[in-house]
Structure 1
């Protein structure tokens, strides 16, 4: 039987299926027995690795985990900060003793953190010094269309482009990453991703851990060859787990509370994190910002591009001790440990987690309903179609509230665990989860979201209101191999006043007529349905 744990493991396979011909499924590496070892005596580098002579072996916890540097503005005005970033190849040490060439923003892997304030505009001038085209998307950002990083709005090699982010939304852990269509999965895998931390007066007034005790953690997988090469392959062949750009690092903490901003920036897999000793922590935020109230957790599962903020109290541990964070969704051939926290000192701790964190906006009441079928076999599509930038799949109007019903379409009987989940992302808006297979969301999924996992055979309903900008946007699976292969659609948001015109990203393309409606079947998913207002 396909249970939730198997489904999570299957997420590591979804990229494999999309990268290779469907009739040529690859077999997983043979599992080796797991050898548990305490932090002070980690398993040797030859244990628990796929049988692959070309793979770099690395002992866990060989690296100290870095914190991505905060980017400094090149100039400041009364209302904005100006930043400059250059995308280029950079040499870094991911596995101890090996030099690896990656793509980087500003010479950093992952990219430098941008800290922003609500109501103050951030302007980023991006220059592409790579030999591939790029496009920069602020994931979760409420951004005008021409600055959204559309899949076809490319920065070609040698060119520059300016992005303006108004920051007119509540505090949240956003991130920026590549979105060049057909290249986004590989570009993100090679390093084009970084954290964007937006704060506001309300969040800043809360007594949460801050300053040096507020840490972004960017998790992803990789395959590093024995010569240091970062090779772009199926997630089945990516046993190296990176945190902030280092392979299974360690991090020194004080015996007090920390706010950890957890990102899944892996292009093609889920992660599921828990402390090896089963310790509880408190979730305080999801993709779009603070939850209404704190949620106690002992495990955190994130699909590709999802984020969560947690507060961990390390004062429960003795000075000189350690605790390991594990990925319970790791393949059996992979190491489960991903990060070791070493409790090295005492520190004052005036922080606390209040019982009320935020007042969430009302859940939108749908004026329009639409239906989407996410198809995996024989290839990745939405409603039977692959992405066409000249075809409008959804046309809506500013201020319109909609309910979307999204199915992970079981159009072929799952072969083992190969029928993977999807990670559904909508640009421009934060949405609310209404239900999952008819069940209301738990408290951890009840906040503002921009990305939602949908498991095989599952149906979710989400609600959103379109604003504040008109123009062209997209929705897609954020298993980026799926979107690279066309699992994406175009949204045109029209002005509420017909006399207003959005500034186009490029000359408007002729709209294609909607496909004729057909009954749902394993061969032909239904097209979206739209009801009158």
Structure 2
């Protein structure tokens, strides 16, 4: 890490300390917050968090095999619809070998089960809430009506149940679902409430990409653990030093000497990553947030802020059987969390897959009707996040757009050292430029989340061409910032 990055990390840590001092820290006791639908004192995590300096030591990397998240099985199937039952439950997970850690989950697994969907085929999720606080499941990246978007105040009360319906009128993409209950979304997601949602379509099926067991979902995130194995939660960036991959600390994954498709999600609350292979080797990015790129992009680095996704193809045939290569983090690479995941090449294998020169055709763009300007603001003294000077208010409409319009949104991160990003519900967008520089080919596809570093300005082209109107949201997806008010309301009118 360079000196400037060390100073930046110190400043980010100081920002977290300021949040704690301000009283805006969401500790374990906040799970009983009545604003999220839970009775006071009902939280299963009612004890106060242990001091940050008492965190458990980082686990030695590569002691545990990386699991693949379980695939959800429908409880019923018709000619048009797959129906699932995925309750919200409290359980324990063996994050550290031999230690059971209390977690909040979808369907009892950490991370949650992967839902496999098909473009144009309906998915229904029946969701009982079996924990003591209100929840709201948001399918991030979904084209869906407001009633099924999982809004921040559209809660399933403790003991209640609701049904979400997803029509999936969109192209193949790697999406994910997570809790969005306001003031609680950061802690709920941190404690385990997220999972993959993979949409396939005819175009993707026709491509000779790696598939089956060679198509692997990978969620990377960070946590902090108390000495007793319980999760430590606050809003301090530097109290989450342990890196997890599919719920396990810096694991290994045995691969064949052939091509793999890796669907990588940054599932952290706040931590950005910049992924690379330890030998500096190239890999091929084939998709971003909302689907396949127009053409493959060969690169050696993959930056992802929280909630961003990218599909890459790594050809392990260039490594001898018996060798290993490590997926590393080049963003704030402290020795304890530089190494993310070790790939062990254990066998040879037949490989009929390839990456074609053309992957997808992006929809045409239209001339913008207007330009809007936004600022992302964060006060480290009070812990208040805001967009264009306003903290989120569920009663206020912040932006009104007409269905079918195309707009340029210019978003500036005003903070000198804290990174942000920007996510819009329902719609995808194209990145025009960041600080006047065009996006790399890896960011030139359909996006729903854009990285905006300290002091940077991003311009995006947004086309509101989906057949839904009503209330949606836009916010920073460093999800602690959303919890602290860096969110606004979007009204789409016909």
TM-score normalised by length of structure 1: 0.83
Shift of 1:95: 1.3
Match of 1:426 in 2: 424
Question: Are 2:398 and 1:396 equivalent residues in the alignment?
Answer: no
Separation of aligned partners in 2, 1:341 and 1:486: 40
Selected match of 2:460 from 459, 462, 465: 462
Kept after mapping to 2: 8 A contact 1:424/1:475: yes
- CA RMSD, 1 decimal: 2.3
Match of 1:198 in 2: 199
- Matched residue SS, 1:428: coil
Please identify, of 325-334 and 432-441, the stretch whose mean Cα deviation from structure 2 is larger.
325-334
Shift of 1:396: 1.3
Selected match of 1:368 from 367, 370, 388: 370
Please list the CA deviations of residues 311-352 of structure 1 after superposition, one character each: whole Å capped at 9, or x if unmatched: 000001111111111112245363311111111111110000
Match of 1:71 in 2: 72
Kept after mapping to 1: 8 A contact 2:52/2:239: no
Shift of 1:128: 0.8
Separation of aligned partners in 2, 1:408 and 1:299: 23
Separation of aligned partners in 2, 1:432 and 1:51: 40
Q: What is the count of residue pairs matched by the alignment?
A: 464
Shift of 1:400: 1.2
Please identify, of 222-231 and 180-189, the stretch whose mean Cα deviation from structure 2 is larger.
222-231
Match of 1:474 in 2: 473
Shift of 1:17: 6.1
Match of 2:123 in 1: 122
Question: Are 2:220 and 1:238 equivalent residues in the alignment?
Answer: no
Separation of aligned partners in 2, 1:59 and 1:224: 14
Kept after mapping to 2: 8 A contact 1:185/1:481: yes
Please list the CA deviations of residues 432-454 of structure 1 after superposition, one character each: whole Å capped at 9, or x if unmatched: 11111122222111100000011
Match of 1:521 in 2: none
Kept after mapping to 2: 8 A contact 1:208/1:353: yes
Please identify, of 323-332 and 338-347, the stretch whose mean Cα deviation from structure 2 is larger.
323-332
Question: Are 2:155 and 1:154 equivalent residues in the alignment?
Answer: yes
Q: Which has the larger radius of gyration?
A: 1
TM-score normalised by length of structure 2: 0.90
Shift of 1:96: 1.7
Kept after mapping to 1: 8 A contact 2:58/2:336: no
CA shift in 2, pair 1:422/1:112, >3 Å: same
Shift of 1:226: 2.0
Shift of 1:56: 4.0
Match of 1:499 in 2: none
- Matched residue SS, 1:67: coil
* Structure 1 unaligned spans of 5+: 26-49, 496-533
CA shift in 2, pair 1:74/1:51, >3 Å: closer
Match of 1:492 in 2: 491
Match of 1:263 in 2: 265
Kept after mapping to 2: 8 A contact 1:422/1:477: yes
Shift of 1:227: 1.2
- Matched residue SS, 2:442: helix
Match of 1:408 in 2: 413
Separation of aligned partners in 2, 1:13 and 1:55: 18
Please identify, of 84-93 and 305-314, the stretch whose mean Cα deviation from structure 2 is larger.
84-93
Kept after mapping to 1: 8 A contact 2:264/2:309: yes
Separation of aligned partners in 1, 2:229 and 2:493: 49
Please identify, of 6-15 and 437-446, the stretch whose mean Cα deviation from structure 2 is larger.
6-15
CA shift in 2, pair 1:3/1:51, >3 Å: closer
Separation of aligned partners in 1, 2:385 and 2:230: 29
- List aligned pairs for 1:129-528, cutoff 5 A: 129-233=130-234, 234-330=236-332, 332=334, 334-378=336-380, 379-410=384-415, 414=416, 419-466=417-464, 467-495=466-494
CA shift in 2, pair 1:183/1:18, >3 Å: farther
CA shift in 2, pair 1:135/1:67, >3 Å: same
Shift of 1:20: 2.7
